[in-house]
Chain A
Amino acid sequence: MPSRRLSRRTVLRGLGATVALPLLDVMPAAAFGFGGGAPAAPASARRMAYLYFPNGIPRGVWYPEETAADGRLVKLNEWMRPLEPFKEHLLIPSNIWTPEGNGHVGGPPTWLTGGSYDRMAVNAGGVSADQIAARHLRDETMLPSLELSVQGEGFFSNSLPRNAISWSAPDRPMSREIEPRAVFDRMFRPPSGGATDRSVMDAVLADARALGNYVSRADRYRLDEYFESIRALERRIEFAERRSTEMRDDGAVTDTLTTPTPGIPADHESYMRLMMDLMVAAFQSDATRVCTFMLDHGQSNRYFNFIPEVRGTWHALSHYKNASGKTEDDDGLTSWDSVEQKRAMYAEVIRWHHRQVAYLLGRLRSVREPDGGTLLDNSMIVYGATLGDGNEHDAQNLPTLLAGGGGGTIETGRFLEHAEPTDLARIHVSLMQRMGVSIDRFGTADGPLDGLEG
């Protein structure tokens, strides 16, 4: 959207100097975003998000219970009930898979790259779709992208592949933020309190550039990583400065959002919803247009005992066909009366996540955009997993859904049935194209997904 950027710059020049950001914790954190009178509001900036969940699903809890002859969603199944109020905003494609592999380990790194994961080389086979979109848009927003996750539970919490869906290079995962306050600070506070001034950075950069001649040619790759990170930061500082001149006290963004306290909220639902609030704030304020959120790491064994009716840990529950309580990561104390009961608890954990996603969709739908539509209308949110049936480690029928209208480019409210296994990477192509990326092939896909427009 070059026209918009130009006009904003013009406005800035008119206003004169840059203004230091005020201390945000002492003011209502409301002052961001584009108020009624904001000049050159984005006509219909599209937003893209990927929400990942681990451990698959029990077969049969994803596809709708009733659809019309033309594919229109009439009724979701009982396990998807939390999303029922949003069904006109959903597109549920069937028979999705990733031909190059998936699962607990190889799944997360390749979910958005369409590649295969090389463990020894730490290589996801490509740049992830979100990062391609982020790179395309990086001069448009303060942060090219946001990568969110939650604090891990279970043995594999520090495993790299299980924690990385977003890759800025095939061998370079983005680090994810798990602390709400850290996310807030990255968006709404100047880096390092604003004290690191330009001249210091310039000196450091000059010095670092000289280093390029000192190290071996291969090592310059790592140095490039350094420069890229610094540049990302500079862009952010620049944007933060500009944004501060545009503040409007219209309460648009953050009537509901106050500065989070440092640390991890103990209540998991509050925690996850707070992260989602931050996501909404990021999209609403145009701090970024690209976000990934791992609702948990790729083999999460979190306790969901806080859900009434659920006992045991997530990954253990996913192997529901053994109800003895003695699968390898059951806690050894929890047992179930039957396979059906354990399966129901497993599905309940997933339904709990649907409730959180419904919360997010509700928030997005409640935000009005300058073009008159809602933030949800302008968003494209893929929500899914890298395993089909968790008990079998099924590689087919990956639970996948798409929410939001993509700025009027996606006809939602439909079940998109595929007779043949259909490559997830096609969806990535479709979304990247809608974010303005000129791309036809990606990973294993040689084109976009047919039928999004209805």
Chain B
Amino acid sequence: MGRVDGCLPGPAVETIRKQDASEGMRMMRKRVRRARVAAMVSAAALGTAAAASAQTDAGAHAVAPLVEQYCYRCHGPQTQTAGIDLATLVTQRPLVRNRGTWTRVIEALDEGKMPPAGAPPLPAEVRRRMAAMLHRDIEEFDYSTIDDPGFELMRRLTHTEYDNTVRDLFGVDLNVTDRFPDELTGSSGFENSSNTLFLQPALMERYIAAAERVVELALPAEPSDARHLASRELVFVATPGDGLGGVDAAETVIERFLGRAYRRPATAGERDQALAQYRSGRAAGLDHEAAVKRVLQAILISPKFLLRVERGRAGADAYPVDDWELASRLSYFLWASMPDQALFDIAARGELRDPETLRAQVERMLADRRADTLGTVFAAQWLGFRHVGTRIWLDPIDNPWCTASLMTAMRDESSLFFLSLLRENRPIRNLIDADYTYVNEELAGTLYGMDGVRGGHMRRVALDDPNRGGVIGQPSILALTSNYKETSPVKRGNYVLDVLLGTPPPPPPPNAGVLSAEVADLRGLSFREKLERHSSNETCRACHARIDPIGFSLENFDYFGRWRETYHFRQRVDDPAEADETVEFQTETSPDPIVRHYKNTHRAIAADGALPDGTPFTGPAGLKRALLGNRHGDLVRQVVSKMLAYALGRQLEYYDEPAVRTIVAALEADGYRFQTLLQEIVASYPFQYKRNRVEETG
């Protein structure tokens, strides 16, 4: 290991990376200008904000001159050490907009870490005053002054949502998005985030081709199997004949399809326009079915199908989305697909906003197989295990045991486990600690060393090993936090702090670099010893003292999550007498064969660890206990934040804090049950309401 400077891969994490190289070299002029713009923007926002408090007053913040005097040298317009630019942040009001960074500032003040040695010192009285002001505006900020359910641009369906929606529209699984341009993810880590769902020409071409393909595949002119017949039944709800004219049949079919594809009843105008297309198709010589199909194809490239459209309202006040829109919010959250008929029916009756009805729908939908996407999409993207088998894999020639089916089973295990937490309404703590998991024969035999499991299907098994059970003991998670064929205590420690607890260690300073060459090259040192030397470097120690001990406690799990008691080294030695093995090879550059000697070494693993607050523990079981004992609050908050962000299809912002707190409070009152979490998210203000962008209200 060694590079700790910002390239720590963690799933769904873009937040921990080092600022890019020249961040500290930006031109001052530019910075100043931008700060002014920011000040103007926030002032404009305040002018129209629904609720203003003393804490959101425009004008210079009382803490600003102090920050300028004592912090700008390293965190001001000219230099932004560690990427922190307090000159800009102090203008972004309320300060809780950048709560994370200000919390770190408060911490640095409280602990006396800043200003660092060598910088002009901060008088104790000023330090107290700054900390107090920031405390008041950050930690004691009165969130009841904020009334903002948020707003994001309407977004297109993700590829997964597109496939699922087509499946539910036609009753057949076609997966036509295989060759669509890849979905790329930004800082939320979820593909459904509005700010990364673009509609580029290249994608539009795929949509148009896919519309044609979907209609042809689902409704071939000559249906040849049961699936085709089922799709026909779903779409062609009326056929000409028996006194029903072609146009009348088309009208029935089209009206119904429009309502399902647009996820709300079609307007008369939409229906008439579609019928006009049908007629023109007929006039051009198409038969009844072909003409209808051409209309369906056009519907599939309409923005009303491709985008999650919600109606705009005038004014500055927050407003509830309508029942149809709520039905879609619900179905795309729980199913990553369109609403079903039952949900449409309730929306049509105007009953969806009835809290009891809504609760019952969440329960019904969770029980439906379509809710598996909460495991295969939500959990897979949050916890990162979707990368197993794609980004995380071993060369199959050198590692014949690492098959595609094994990696599928690893993903399935984590996803089935997460779904069991939801469907069995388990407490959030079970995410970390549970006495069961899901395996098949291959997974049980290859990675768990478990006998007696037969067959390829995944089934639940009881675990009596306290080190297993919960995501931290699952091979998918242990593999994705390893390097190729080697564990990475840093990645694992970081994973626990960032992905599971939502408290990422601060990004490393730009000059953190790699393990120094001298340390890295020292032979015979264990990885832990090397890393501890690294951590003895003052620059690195502060963070690594928090990250690494968590990772060390998991060292009994190897890079694919198999249990081990010792490290096996093949260590290079110079003296052939010491060697257990000698290798001779030739390269093109070296005329003479190269000889290397290796010695096999075993070393016991020391699995002692500690939480950042110093709480000591041993091994995975100890880590789990310590997390649930000391960090349960962070775990809950993180689960709430991640699931809310996924439900809303956007990054959380400071104005979502009231919703997060309400949900956490409801969980606390109810034993932190997962279904309570789902219910509370669905009942939350940002899930049911929206507010126009500020610039629209003026």
Contacts of A394 in B (CB 8 A): 21
Asked if A326 and B515 make an inter-chain contact with CB atoms under 8 angstroms apart, the answer reads yes
Contacts of A339 in B (CB 8 A): 517
Q: Which of A156, A329, A332 contacts B485 (CB 8 A)?
A: A332
User: Hey, what's the 0/1 contact readout for B140-151 against A, CB within 8 Å counting as 1?
Assistant: 000000000001
Contacts of B486 in A (CB 8 A): 326, 331-333
A34 at the A/B interface (Cβ < 8 Å)? no
Asked if B208 and A192 make an inter-chain contact with CB atoms under 8 angstroms apart, the answer reads yes
Contacts of B520 in A (CB 8 A): 322-324, 326
Give the secondary structure class of A's interface.
loop
Interface residues in A308-351 (C-beta closer than 8 Å to B): 308-309, 315, 319, 321-324, 326-333, 339
Using a Cβ cutoff of 8 Å, how many contacts connect chains A and B? 282
Contacts of A107 in B (CB 8 A): 20
A332 to B394, CA, bound (A): 12
A3 at the A/B interface (Cβ < 8 Å)? no
Q: Which of B1, B201, B312 contacts A328 (CB 8 A)?
A: B1
Asked if B184 and A164 make an inter-chain contact with CB atoms under 8 angstroms apart, the answer reads yes
Interface size of B in residues (CB-CB distance below 8 Å): 95
A99 at the A/B interface (Cβ < 8 Å)? yes
Among B175-183, B366-374, B575-583, B599-607, the one that faces the other chain is B175-183
Within the complex, what minimum Cβ distance (angstroms) separates B194 from chain A? 9
A195 at the A/B interface (Cβ < 8 Å)? yes
Give the residue name and chain of the A residue nearest to B390 (CB): A157
Interface residues in B343-393 (C-beta closer than 8 Å to A): 387, 391
Asked if B21 and A328 make an inter-chain contact with CB atoms under 8 angstroms apart, the answer reads no
Asked if B309 and A174 make an inter-chain contact with CB atoms under 8 angstroms apart, the answer reads no
B111 at the A/B interface (Cβ < 8 Å)? no
Within the complex, what minimum Cβ distance (angstroms) separates A239 from chain B? 13
Contacts of A120 in B (CB 8 A): 187, 651
Give the residue name and chain of the B residue nearest to A214 (CB): B311
Contacts of B14 in A (CB 8 A): 105, 119, 159, 161
Interface residues in A352-373 (C-beta closer than 8 Å to B): none
A444 to B30, CA, bound (A): 9
User: Hey, what's the 0/1 contact readout for A116-135 against B, CB within 8 Å counting as 1?
Assistant: 11011110000000000000
B467 at the A/B interface (Cβ < 8 Å)? no
B635 at the A/B interface (Cβ < 8 Å)? no
Give the residue name and chain of the B residue nearest to A97 (CB): B22
A222 at the A/B interface (Cβ < 8 Å)? yes
Contacts of A155 in B (CB 8 A): 9, 387, 391
Give the residue name and chain of the B residue nearest to A98 (CB): B22
Q: Which of B3, B154, B185, B484 contacts A219 (CB 8 A)?
A: B154
Interface residues in B148-204 (C-beta closer than 8 Å to A): 151, 153-156, 179, 181-187, 195-196, 198-204
Within the complex, what minimum Cβ distance (angstroms) separates A320 from chain B? 10
Within the complex, what minimum Cβ distance (angstroms) separates A115 from chain B? 10
A196 to B205, CA, bound (A): 11
Asked if A216 and B1 make an inter-chain contact with CB atoms under 8 angstroms apart, the answer reads no
B209 at the A/B interface (Cβ < 8 Å)? yes
A225 at the A/B interface (Cβ < 8 Å)? yes
Asked if A218 and B185 make an inter-chain contact with CB atoms under 8 angstroms apart, the answer reads no
Contacts of B515 in A (CB 8 A): 322, 324, 326-327
Within the complex, what minimum Cβ distance (angstroms) separates B391 from chain A? 5
Give the residue name and chain of the B residue nearest to A218 (CB): B693
Can you report 25 residue pairs joining A to B where beta carbons are below 8 Å apart? Answer: A99-B30, A101-B19, A147-B202, A155-B9, A158-B185, A175-B200, A200-B277, A200-B294, A203-B274, A207-B304, A214-B312, A216-B313, A216-B693, A222-B156, A225-B198, A233-B201, A322-B515, A324-B517, A328-B8, A329-B9, A387-B21, A392-B21, A393-B5, A393-B21, A395-B25
Q: 5 closest A-B pairs (Cβ-Cβ)?
A: A103-B20, A216-B312, A395-B22, A332-B486, A331-B484
List 10 additional A-B contacts (Cβ < 8 Å) besides A101-B26, A120-B651: A117-B20, A200-B277, A204-B298, A214-B309, A226-B303, A324-B521, A327-B1, A332-B484, A332-B486, A392-B513
Point out residues on B near A: beta carbons under 8 Å: 1-5, 7-9, 14, 17-23, 25-27, 30, 151, 153-156, 179, 181-187, 195-196, 198-205, 208-209, 211-212, 269-270, 273-274, 276-277, 280, 294, 297-298, 301-304, 306-307, 309-313, 387, 391, 483-486, 488, 490-491, 510, 513-515, 517, 520-521, 527, 530, 559, 587-589, 651, 692-693, 695-696
